[in-house]
A and B are shown apart, each in its own frame.
Chain A
Amino acid sequence: LPDDFDWRERGAVGPVKDQGSCGSCWSFSTSGALEGAHFLATGKLEVLSEQQMVDCDHECDASESRACDSGCNGGLMTTAFSYLMKSGGLQSEKDYPYAGRENTCKFDKSKIVAQVKNFSVISVNEDQIAANLVKHGPLAIAINAAYMQTYIGGVSCPFICGRHLDHGVLLVGYGSAGYAPIRFKEKPYWIIKNSWGENWGEKGYYKICRGPHDKNKCGVDSMVSSVTAIHTSKK
């Protein structure tokens, strides 16, 4: 495994977006993973639509018919991948722009840009997460966002942090050591793309520590999934 890795340097990560006042983080995590997978499959970075999932994805957990994706009221990335496999794929942001609230579904199958071939859930093992990141592109992950409301920058590594998951984000890379502005402590870290706009965090990104002494910090290793895309020729 390389010591440092960052898909942003390889063109597999789209622009930072802003979910606004809508509990749709899951759709941004899902679209970010599929943007990366589509890039790996085709060499093209397409900015994909979250609104299609907010409006049209009401997929439920296979094992619990009441646990369903529901627009601004929350969803799950793996269920969204299942929806995308059934719907045929995802339109572009341009064709189905983000509105920040749930509307009636306006999905147009003829405008699908990216298709999900398959998705996988990765074990709670940091080497496996890093290996899947390098192999399959950016990963859809969940995290406990307790420290993110006040986060400005640096490598977050709280002494105490719950592991119940309440936010969906995108893992785009990792670094071997980062510096905290005041304490110059070196911490290996994950690089995470958030969906709260560029005027939050480090230009929209968040760093959280990883490594043998800081495993699964804030639950970051607990719910990790990768997706692979098919090359869809545009009709």
Chain B
Amino acid sequence: AALSSSAAEGEEDPLIEQVVGGGDELGELDAEAHFASFERRFGRTYRDAGERAYRMSVFAANLRRARRHQRLDPTATHGVTKFSDLTPGEFRDRFLGLRRPSLEGLVGGEPHEAPILPTDG
């Protein structure tokens, strides 16, 4: 669902075009070329042709996601990174790792509350 192309998707986007070919949908050839470049750049190898085909489909979805991020976050640059062959779920599970604090920690009454520091002058 995250990848449904909204009406806005049609807009041209100069930045992402450096990464992804023109037009809204990714041509098969386009995705293959970008994926091959990604494999070389990050030294990726996959178990077999099936795994590679799956990873390329994830990669293509992430290119569309990068384009969406670029639109939502225009003051940054978004595109292909070393995580571009991972689903958002795999990325979260493997490369983050912040545990949710217990409710008490969130609610406040924190025993380690920092004193207010002067910020003028």
Measured CB to CB, the residues of A under 8 A from B are 1, 19, 21-26, 61-64, 67, 69-70, 72-76, 78-79, 118-123, 127-128, 130-132, 135, 142, 145, 147, 149-160, 165-168, 178, 180-183, 185, 187, 196-197, 199-200, 207, 209, 223, 225-226
Contact = CB atoms under 8 A, between A and B. Distances in A.
A118 B113 CA distance: 11
A35 to B, nearest CB: 19
Given A64-B103, A180-B74, A152 B116 contact: no
Contacts of B79: 150, 152
Contact of B94 (A22, A168, A200): A22
B74 A150 contact: no
B104 interface: yes
A183 B75 contact: yes
B72 A159 contact: yes
Given A64-B103, A72-B97, A226 B77 contact: no
Given A23-B94, A156-B76, A183-B75, A150 B69 contact: yes
Contact of B98 (A118, A147, A156, A166): A166
Contacts of A70: 99
B101 A74 contact: no
Contacts of A226: 114
Interface of B: 14-15, 62, 65-66, 69, 72-84, 86, 88, 91-105, 110-119
B102 to A, nearest CB: 3
Given A149-B83, A152-B78, A152-B79, A165 B97 contact: no
Contacts of A154: 75-77
B79 to A, nearest CB: 5
A149 B91 contact: yes
B96 A167 contact: yes
A24 B98 CA distance: 8
Contacts of B77: 151-154, 180-181
B99 to A, nearest CB: 4
Contacts of A64: 102-104
Nearest to A60: B102
Nearest to A225: B112
Residue picked from B73, B81, B82, B92, most chain A C-beta under 10 Å: B73
A200 B73 CA distance: 18
A140 to B, nearest CB: 11
B78 A128 contact: no
Contacts of A25: 95-98
B98 A159 contact: no
Nearest to A201: B81
A74 to B, nearest CB: 4
B62 A209 contact: no
Contact of B81 (A152, A158, A166): A152
